Structure 1
């Protein structure tokens, strides 16, 4: 059986790290999207997909 983590059991520094990551992920994703449109490489597309997944997971509170 999988153990579910409560948000109350997370140390304060992890909460602070999450808040900081949420502030930086959207501008970084926008910058990477523009960069991918200008210089499309396989690495840029994969990185953009990973950043979009992270932004959505923070928004939907999956992470």
Structure 2
């Protein structure tokens, strides 16, 4: 028998996940910026760019 997911529980879980991401994106971005300054590589610059875009999208509530 297939069990159906409760949509309200699912939305609560996603909301909690988004709140955790909002809290952690700034420290990760700062750490990555320091790492990019000390040991620059293509991967570090790409990862820093992704973190900055995600942080700005959370700030302007695009996500």
- Identify whether the pair has TM-score above 0.5, normalized to the shorter chain: yes
**Bigger Rg over Cα:** 2
**CA–CA distance in 1 between the matches of 2:14 and 2:57?**
16
TM-aligned CA deviation for residue 22 of structure 1: 0.5
The answer to whether residue 44 in structure 2 is matched with residue 44 in structure 1 is yes
- Structure 1 unpaired stretches of 5+: 1-9
* 1:53 paired residue number: 53
Measured on the aligned residues, the alpha-carbon RMSD in Å equals 1.0
After superposition, residues 5-24 of structure 1 pair within 5 angstroms as 11-24=11-24
**Normalization by structure 1: what TM-score?**
0.83
- Structure 2 unpaired stretches of 5+: 1-9
**Normalization by structure 2: what TM-score?**
0.83
Aligned length: 54
